Amino acid sequence: NNLLLSFRPLLNTKNNIIDIYEIAVKLNADKVGNILPRVYLPVINRLGLGREYDFTLLKHIVDLLPLVDESISFTFNLSPFSLRDPSFQEKFFSYLDQKEIDPSRLIIQLYERKTHHNIGGYLKTLNSFRAKGVRICIDNFGSSNASMEYMKHFKFDMVQFDRDYVTNLHDETSYAMLESLSRMSKDLHIITVAKWVDKDTQKEKLKALGIDYLQGFGISKPITETELINRYN
């Protein structure tokens, strides 16, 4: 009950419809107000409660799905440590089966700076989620060697490009790199997302590159959970 979710709209550039929302989470503490993840997550992890936190968040999101139109999907972060935990996987899959929702409406974002030492085992884990129908997204794509290494071995559903590419479209090198990453993703039939879109000039350049989804204040401001339900119930 202390998790405060906000929903950032992703605009589908093909039909100009918002059909995916990225979920941002804050912790609502009575005495100090809303606490950002960069503050509370290190504490939760030090206490060994990371998996419990992730499962609480997951349940909240899964419970929300039946309350909104079935055309709406959610993308959100879960810790790689939770995903690699067999007991977490078992609880995850059991809850999905219990709720009988369409798993493809869930898009898990992954971001790791370094390649996992047991990449084969990790990719097997990700495949088990995809086998259930859950979609997998690389966040901050192009910012680390790990994201490229995983791309070589695993068929991702979505990539979200690193912020620097989007905010530096005026730079010739950044633009050329984003163009190459976008083309590669298209060739692999992977959905592409550009966040931090605040200006019309960004929007037009990204559309010209064929980016599938755009997100940022230049697209639409985040909405609350109540607003989401009222809009799509």
Residue 179 confidence (pLDDT) above 70: yes
The residue type found at 54 is: D
Q: Under DSSP, is residue 85 helix (H, G, I), strand (E, B) or coil? A: coil
Task: State pLDDT tens for residues 34-49.
Answer: 999 999 999 999 999 9
pLDDT at 1 (0 to 100): 66
- 179 by Cβ neighbours in 10 Å (0-12 / 13-18 / 19+) ranks as middle
Q: Under DSSP, is residue 90 helix (H, G, I), strand (E, B) or coil? A: helix
What percentage of the chain carries pLDDT values higher than 90? 84
Residue 220 confidence (pLDDT) above 80: yes
Structure-block tokens of residue 182: 């976008």
Residues 6+ apart with CB under 8 A from 115: 145, 146, 149, 150
Residue 188 confidence (pLDDT) above 80: yes
Is 173 in contact with 193 (CB distance < 8 Å)? no
Helix (H) or strand (E) holding 222: none
Residues 6+ apart with CB under 8 A from 131: none
Burial pattern 43-75, b for ≥16 Cβ within 10 A else e, equals ebeeeeebbebbbebbebbbebbeebeeebbbb
* Cα 56 → chain centroid: 17
The tally of CA atoms less than 13 A away on the side-chain side of residue 23 is 26
The residue type found at 122 is: Y
Is 162 in contact with 134 (CB distance < 8 Å)? no
Structure-block tokens of residue 28: 């609502």
Task: State pLDDT tens for residues 81-120.
Answer: 999 999 999 999 999 999 999 999 999 999 877 777 888 8
Residues 6+ apart with CB under 8 A from 31: none
Residue 61 confidence (pLDDT) above 90: yes
Task: State pLDDT tens for residues 15-31.
Answer: 999 999 999 999 988 88
- 79 by Cβ neighbours in 10 Å (0-12 / 13-18 / 19+) ranks as middle
pLDDT at 115 (0 to 100): 79
Superfamily of domain 3-232: EAL domain (3.20.20.450)
- Confidence at 144, pLDDT banded by 50, 70, 90: confident
> Stretch 143-155: mean pLDDT, rounded?
85
pLDDT at 91 (0 to 100): 97
